[in-house]
Structures are given as structure tokens and as C-alpha cells.
Amino acid sequence: MTKDFHSKPFDESTKLKLDIFRECFKEWLPVFIHNPYIEHVFIFDFFAGSGKDKTGFYGSPLILLEEARGENRKYCTKVRKKVTFNFYDRSAQKIEELRRNVKDFFWECKEKNCCKECVYEIEIQRCEFKKLLEKEEIQGILSNTKFGKFVLLDQCGFKEISPNVFRILTESPKTDFIFFISSDFVRRFKEHPSVKRYIDTSGINVDEGKPIEYHRAIANYYRNLMVGKENYYLHHFSIKKPKEKGGNIYGLIFGSNHTLGMEKFLKVCWKHDKYSGESNFNIDSDYEEGNLFYNPNRTNKQIKMRQKLEQMILSRDITDNIAGFKYALKNGCLPILFTEVVLNLEKEGKIRREGDVKNASTNIHKVKEYKINVISNEHN
């Protein structure tokens, strides 16, 4: 658990993880820098490492800076508010390497783009994560409703995101976070005191014959910690290493208190997994491309979610589009799936929509509500 992953080339699963970090941040950044109600944007990378692997492949800190520059400098030339990057690591050696790598990044950027100074503020500091969270400055930033925060926690292992840390993250306004967790390690040593000290593994329920679902179960463990947070959104992505690397499964967990944040993350996940939107392998045993029965719009997850949405609409548990959108998001599906179900029920003459009826299914925080009335009695 103490390997130095930056001292050798990143493997393909690590590169996938970094790609998801990149794409998630790329979706997040313009929302917050263009939000007139956000005065200051903070990007935290609490386990930043040295910034590159042995071959020079970018790690998370340089990926964040590269995306903040944007293609043709489309972000850094237009930003009109303070944007601060905070990079931390407990290793003095990695912090020194990171300082050099960040310095080189800015030198190359200024040379290429003929600019004198960077518009972004950069803080690089050696410190342990738990001590950082105890600092009044960090607590003040996380709790400030006028600050937008992107929190990246690429921990090595599992123990840093304790129930208390998770509570702090989910209670921080205007904050989206994404963290890594070594799910397979937790599965293999779930009864060991060193694991149970940080994660109550008795609360992780999964069929022992389905180890590929363990990261999904860990995500549910964290969901169960969110008592009284019905409007909070959490999703996960499982990453399986190739067989020659052991075939272990670990994953990412993303959290946001806004529907747009979850829409953006799900967009990234479904891009990487057209079957279930949650893994780099066929987690639900779907028919794959090339099979006679393959249908990307009729995967096992989509079928189950369509059936569940239809049932909840006809039983009047969902009576408007906003509730339906949010239910889809909470279950790892994009809102368009709900609209497809509604249109089908409407075509079958089972429901009638009333109010400001439109089929818009993105940026749902801006979509006006319409009501759904059931007109079929057979399901009452």
C-alpha cells in the first residue's frame, strides 16, 4: 500500500483513472468559473504525488493545470475571478519533484503562448491529509457558500476517506469531490482490524460469488452514511486491472450536492461504459458488440431502470418530471432515460402530462416541472 506509483510507467488502468479525473474536471471547471455567484474557485489535489510518472506521462496535478488552460487557452484568457490550485502530499521528495514539474509546465506554457504571468494561483505544500482537514483555513474554504470547490482525493489504499471525512465532504456547499479507493484490498481483508478500523465492513453487503461487484457495494456503504441527505448525489466507477496485473478491482466515487454535477459525471461514465455507466468491464453480463442480441439501448441496467421507472410512475410514486429525473440520476442513469419511459407510456395511453410539457432532459435544474397523471386503471 506504500508503493511509489510515480517511479514507474502508469499502467492502462491507472491511465483510465486519470482520464476520468481529466474529463470530470473538464466538465466541472467552466460551470464554476462562469457562475456569477461564485467569487473564488478552489481546486484541491490532496494526494498530488510528483506530477508525472517515469516516462513523463502527466499525473493529476499537471492534468488539472492543463485542463485549466484549455484548448487554445480558452479558459485562462477569460477567467475573471480568483482560481487557486492547492497541491499537497505528505512526501517531501514528491513535493520537491512536483514543484520542479509545475515550474517546467509553466515555463513551457509561457514560452508557447507568449504570456508573462499565469492568471492562476498555485499552492504546493507538504502536509498530511488529516492534518490539512483540521486547519481552520481549509475548513473555512470548504464551508464558504461563495467558493466553488473541486476536491480530488487519489489516496493510495482506502483508509483516508473515513465516515467523518466523508461527512465533511458531503456537507461542504458548492463542492464536488472524487476519490479513489482500493476496493479489492478491502474485500480481501475485510475482517482484518486494520481495515475495520476505518471501514465498517459489516455494512458492505455483496454476494461473495460476485467479487466484481464489490466496488459497487462499497459505494452503497458510503450512500448509507448519507442519512438525511436526500438531495445529495453519489456515483461510482469500477476499474479492473488486466489479468497479467492481477485482475484486481478498485474504483472511483464521485459526490455532488447539485444535479448538474451528477449529470456531468454520469456523462463521463457512460462514455466509458455504454452498458452500465459504471465500469471498464462488462459488470452486468450484457450482450457485447458483435453478438446477435447486442443492443446498446437495451442493456440489463437500462431494462431494469426502465421497468422500475414505469412501475413508479404508474403507482404514482413519481408524479412529475423533476422527481423522475432525480431518481434516474440517483441510480446512475442519465435523465433522458426517464423521458424515454414517459414518452412510451404516453404513446400507450397510460399517462397524460400536464403543465409546461417539454422533453428537455439535460441541465435539469433549469427544466420546468410538469405533472404526470395516470389514466390507466389496470395498475391502480
pLDDT above 60 for 380: no
Amino acid letter, residue 194: S
pLDDT above 70 for 33: yes
What is the rounded radius of gyration, in angstroms, for the C-alpha atoms of the chain?
22
Q: For 221-255, b where at least 16 C-beta lie within 10 A, e where not — what string?
A: bbbeebeeeeebbbbbbbbbbeeeeeebbbbbbbb
Q: What does the longest C-alpha to C-alpha distance in the chain come to?
A: 71
pLDDT above 90 for 91: yes
Q: Please give the pLDDT value at position 5.
A: 62
Mean pLDDT of the chain: 93
Does an H or E element contain 351, and which? strand 351-355
Q: pLDDT, tens digit, for every residue of 120-134?
A: 999 999 999 999 999
Enumerate residues 6+ apart whose C-beta is below 8 A from 304: none
Q: Are 62 and 101 in contact (CB under 8 A)?
A: yes
Beta-sheet pairing, 147-153 with 175-181: parallel
pLDDT above 50 for 2: no
Q: Please give the pLDDT value at position 4.
A: 62
DSSP letter string over 226-239?
-TT-TT-EEEEEEE
Cα–Cα distance, 333 to 326 (Å, whole number): 9
Enumerate residues 6+ apart whose C-beta is below 8 A from 318: 309, 312, 324, 327, 372
pLDDT above 50 for 9: yes
Q: Please give the pLDDT value at position 180.
A: 97
Amino acid letter, residue 58: Y
Which 3 state secondary structure label does DSSP give 346? helix
Give the percent of the chain with pLDDT over 70.
97
Q: Which domains does the chain have, with CATH numbers?
A: 5-272 (3.40.50.150), 300-374 (no CATH)
Q: Which of 329, 327, 309, 325 is nearest to 261 (CA)?
A: 329
Q: pLDDT, tens digit, for every residue of 236-251?
A: 999 999 888 788 999 9
pLDDT band at 205 (very low <50, low <70, confident <90, very high): confident
Strand order through the sheet with 82-89: 121-126, 82-89, 40-45, 147-153, 175-181, 249-256, 233-240
The model's pTM: 0.94
Q: pLDDT, tens digit, for every residue of 108-162?
A: 998 888 787 889 999 999 999 999 999 999 999 999 999 999 999 999 889 999 9
Q: Please give the pLDDT value at position 207.
A: 81
Q: pLDDT, tens digit, for every residue of 270-291?
A: 999 999 999 999 999 998 988 9
Q: Are 333 and 301 in contact (CB under 8 A)?
A: yes
Give the percent of the chain with pLDDT over 90.
83
Q: Please give the pLDDT value at position 356.
A: 94
